[in-house]
Amino acid sequence: MAWMGKWISMPGFHRTYVSDRNDPAPYFRREFNGGKFNNATLKICGLGYFELYLNGQRVGDQVLAPVVSEYDKHSRYLTFDVTSRLRDECNTVVVVLGNGWYNPSTAEVWNFLTAPWRDCPKFALELEADGKLLLESDENWRVTSGPIRFDALRNGEFYDARMELTGFTESGYDDSSWQYACRVSGPGGILVEQKQEPCRVLATIPAKFTNRHDLWDVGQNLTGWARITVEGDAGAEVTLQYAERITDDGDLDTTFQDEYILSGAFQTDKYILKGGGVEIWEPRFTYHGFQYIKATVLGNATLRNVEARFVASDFPSVGTLTTSDETINALQKMTRWSFHSNFVGIPTDCPHREKNGWTGDAHIAVETGLWNFDPSRCYREWLTILTDCQRPSGALPGIAPSGGWGFNWGNGPAWDSALVAIPYYIYLHTGNMDAIRDNYEPVKRYLDFCGSMATDYTVSFGLGDWCPSGAETPAAITSTGYYYMDAKMAAAFAELLGHPDEAENYRALAGEIAAAFHRRFYQGNGVYESDTLTALGCALYHDLVPETEKAQVLARLIDKVEALDGAVDFGILGAKYVPRVLADNGRADLALKFFTRRQFPSWGYWVELGLTTLAEHWDGTASRNHIMFGDISAWFFTYLAGFRHDWKRAGSNYLEIAPCPVLESCRAEYRNYLSEWHCADDGTFRIELTIPPNCEALLRMPDGSAPQLLTEGRYQRRCSVAPQK
């Protein structure tokens, strides 16, 4: 039976969900008798975020927990083994709550202020010991407000250290002046245990004082918050403002970042000193995207130190890649930082102005994520949020979670395909079918919805090639391309799950879409409507071009790319299509120019600008920490390293390795597979491979010789290849 939970909150916190009132964070406390136990387990769902203390110590090292959900459908709880923490006699448990996503009390353009689940912070807790209920959340808990005076996810946290509650996490503290908690209704969703890796502080990076405008430079664009060391008089105040860029004269610049936040200070924390010595503080119920911190002191106080705390989902790293080209190496590092700092519980577009779970960004970057990290459990729980948002018609919003925004703008097949592509690539990389099994019925509903929106098997709704550098491509082309991809992937899912009739139906649907695509958009002589790189790339990438026309379409694409000499002329969809199509057809050298070119517009231009993460726009304006152009790292692994999975042998026990030697050297590691190759000026190609235990790899050398199946062990191979173009 599912855990229902008894929910409690602070009296007087109830409000209508349209209110922008933001109360101080509630502090709950309960003393209880312990004993000697063999097994004691504590379950807690604290919304929006919680911190838990038992007998004076934090329980767990997670932050920003639990991960957001569509709260009226599901809410996540965490489980802790507290056997060793319980005392024989009196014990004390404390819960501190923040607003998080559950109670967004400041306005922004995505309307979370009026989300249907929104309510005051609350929690449900149970502590079982040796199979018996030892403690639960009820009206016997005491509650008060404390030093956290304000917290909002997209704004920040205000902390008044003069109001700290000394000793309240230990037994014997006098809480007689505190109120009793009150029973409240829960958020309405089913309580499910959070299985994905939690968010944690993953690194602490010193910030350097710039001697101008009270500014500190971390040297890296990232997510998290500042930790300050300060000394001064009680009542002195430190204001921390965060941004990812500075003005020409070295002051903080929030241009392009705060325009969507409609109330409250944007990315701002405040700390009021209690006085009496050195004080160290960091916020706990918010996070920011930044490289620079402006620390302004009001009153008699001295700021001794500022550090950046990098916060993200703590999933493992499984892949690394370095090459002989420093621009490629910089882009690989930037992409890893962008991916990880845009995964704080859920995949997001950017960590500062939005923090939204945009579906397009999520699936465009999924292969990059899976080559570099193992975020599969995080993706699976985010897909639950996405399907919780799905309407009975099958329609999906452009962001998940969503308080109702994103159904009439911001979606469409090029975005919605996250529901289909992410389970597909999770299975391809891990061999785990759970994401496919869990989402098969929602995928079917979504394809039915696309069918209802189709005219002659083509669809025109939704966003297209977002943020192009030049010519725009009609959304009908890319939307129909992804409709076709989804039908093909659904057929593969049906086959895998043992539904051959449904697999045949989806294959037939895919065939109809392909024929309709060519019929509607092909204009002859290798040209698809609009004749953009994205249009040509879409047709070739999705395999929508009849065999008789492929050579002409490919030649047209290559001619247009060569004329650009490495300049990009596409948006985020073309950024995936075009480099892959070129490499798949023997022109990885052309694709490489998009990355290594240092002039605008190109990926390499961002390196020239000195960015440390990927940008939203090719000119480096707007966000400077976006993942939507981040398929490039997957391209590096797939074509430079040559690592590829096989659907028929999904998982990491088998890998195909087919390097493209368009550089001097490349070294890549993925789940203990190691490939290191060098290409000499005379065309001699040498590769060293390590195949991990119980694994196999099919090596395809670049000279076109017969493939070699290799089992676990270390190998060296060499051959001659044609001179690079």
157-185: per-residue pLDDT in tens? 999 999 999 999 999 999 999 999 999 99
> Could you tell me if 294 and 344 lie in one domain?
no
Pick the last residue of a domain from 313, 331, 353.
Answer: 313
* Residue 60 covered by a domain: yes
Output the CA torsion sign for 593, 577, 612, 366. negative
3-state secondary structure 431-456: CCCHHHHHHHHHHHHHHHHHHHHCEC
> Could you tell me if 384 and 533 lie in one domain?
yes
> Could you tell me if 428 and 569 lie in one domain?
yes
Q: Give the span between the Cα atoms of 531 and 471, in whole angstroms.
A: 9
Question: What domain range is 309 assigned to?
Answer: 200-313
> Could you tell me if 71 and 30 lie in one domain?
yes
* Residue 263 covered by a domain: yes
Tens digit of each residue's pLDDT (9 = 90 or more) over 374-401: 999 999 999 999 999 999 999 999 999 9
Tens digit of each residue's pLDDT (9 = 90 or more) over 515-529: 999 999 999 999 999
Residues in contact with 310: Cβ distance below 8 Å, sequence separation at least 6, in sequence order: 201, 202, 203, 204, 205, 222, 223, 224, 341
Pick the last residue of a domain from 175, 196, 217.
Answer: 196
> Could you tell me if 187 and 208 lie in one domain?
no
- Residue for token digits 């020239």? 608
Share of the chain above pLDDT 90, in %: 94
> Could you tell me if 415 and 374 lie in one domain?
yes
Q: Say yes or no to pLDDT of 350 above 60.
A: yes
Domain count, the chain: 4
Q: Give the span between the Cα atoms of 50 and 141, in whole angstroms.
A: 16
Are the CB atoms for 667 and 323 separated by under 8 Å?
yes
* Residue 531 covered by a domain: yes
The pLDDT score that the predictor gives to residue 259 is 81
Question: Stretch 469-496: mean pLDDT, rounded?
Answer: 97
Q: Say yes or no to pLDDT of 667 above 90.
A: yes
Question: Stretch 692-715: mean pLDDT, rounded?
Answer: 97
Instruction: Name the least confident of 45-59, 255-269, 331-345, 617-631.
Output: 255-269
* Residue 705 covered by a domain: yes
Q: Say yes or no to pLDDT of 13 above 90.
A: no
Pick the last residue of a domain from 640, 664, 683.
Answer: 640
Helix extents (H) in 454-499: 475-496
The pLDDT score that the predictor gives to residue 15 is 53
Tens digit of each residue's pLDDT (9 = 90 or more) over 125-150: 999 999 999 999 999 999 999 999 99
Please provide the distance, in angstroms rounded to a whole number, between the alpha carbons at the two ends of the chain. Answer: 64
pLDDT bracket for residue 19 (50, 70, 90): low
* Residue 23 covered by a domain: yes
> Could you tell me if 230 and 358 lie in one domain?
no
- Residue for token digits 């109702």? 404
* Beta strands 252-253; 522-524: pairing state: unpaired
Are the CB atoms for 490 and 420 separated by under 8 Å?
yes
Q: Select from 11, 211, 224, 198 the least CA-distant residue to 121.
A: 11
Residues in contact with 328: Cβ distance below 8 Å, sequence separation at least 6, in sequence order: 595, 596, 636, 640, 663
> Could you tell me if 560 and 619 lie in one domain?
yes
CATH code of the domain containing 258: 2.60.120.260
Q: Give the span between the Cα atoms of 163 and 617, in whole angstroms.
A: 44
CATH code of the domain containing 524: 1.50.10.10
Q: Is the pTM of this model over 0.95?
A: yes
The pLDDT score that the predictor gives to residue 367 is 98
Q: Select from 422, 447, 452, 421 the least CA-distant residue to 509.
A: 447
3-state percent helix, strand, coil for the chain, nearest multiple of 5: 25, 30, 40
Q: Give the span between the Cα atoms of 418 and 551, in whole angstroms.
A: 31
Q: Compute CA distances 529 → 389, 468, 521, 719, whole Å.
A: 34, 16, 5, 43
pLDDT bracket for residue 476 (50, 70, 90): very high
> Could you tell me if 694 and 607 lie in one domain?
no
The pLDDT score that the predictor gives to residue 171 is 95
For helices 418-430 and 475-496, angle between their N-to-C axes, nearest 10 degrees = 50
Q: Say yes or no to pLDDT of 106 above 80.
A: yes
The pLDDT score that the predictor gives to residue 23 is 87
The β-bridge partners of 713 are 691
> Could you tell me if 686 and 672 lie in one domain?
yes
* Residue 228 covered by a domain: yes
Average pLDDT along the chain: 96
* Residue 230 covered by a domain: yes
CATH code of the domain containing 662: 2.60.420.10
The pLDDT score that the predictor gives to residue 446 is 98
Residues in contact with 273: Cβ distance below 8 Å, sequence separation at least 6, in sequence order: 161, 162, 230, 232, 233, 234, 235, 236, 237, 238, 279, 299, 301
DSSP type of residue 212: S
Query: Where in 175-264 does DSSP place strands (E)?
Result: 179-180, 182-184, 190-193, 199-206, 208-209, 215-232, 237-243, 245-246, 252-253
Q: Compute CA distances 724 → 19, 196, 680, whole Å.
A: 64, 44, 11
The pLDDT score that the predictor gives to residue 725 is 47
Tens digit of each residue's pLDDT (9 = 90 or more) over 272-300: 999 999 999 999 999 999 999 999 999 99
> Could you tell me if 633 and 674 lie in one domain?
no
How many Cβ atoms sit within 10 Å of the Cβ of residue 642?
Answer: 23
> Could you tell me if 616 and 500 lie in one domain?
yes
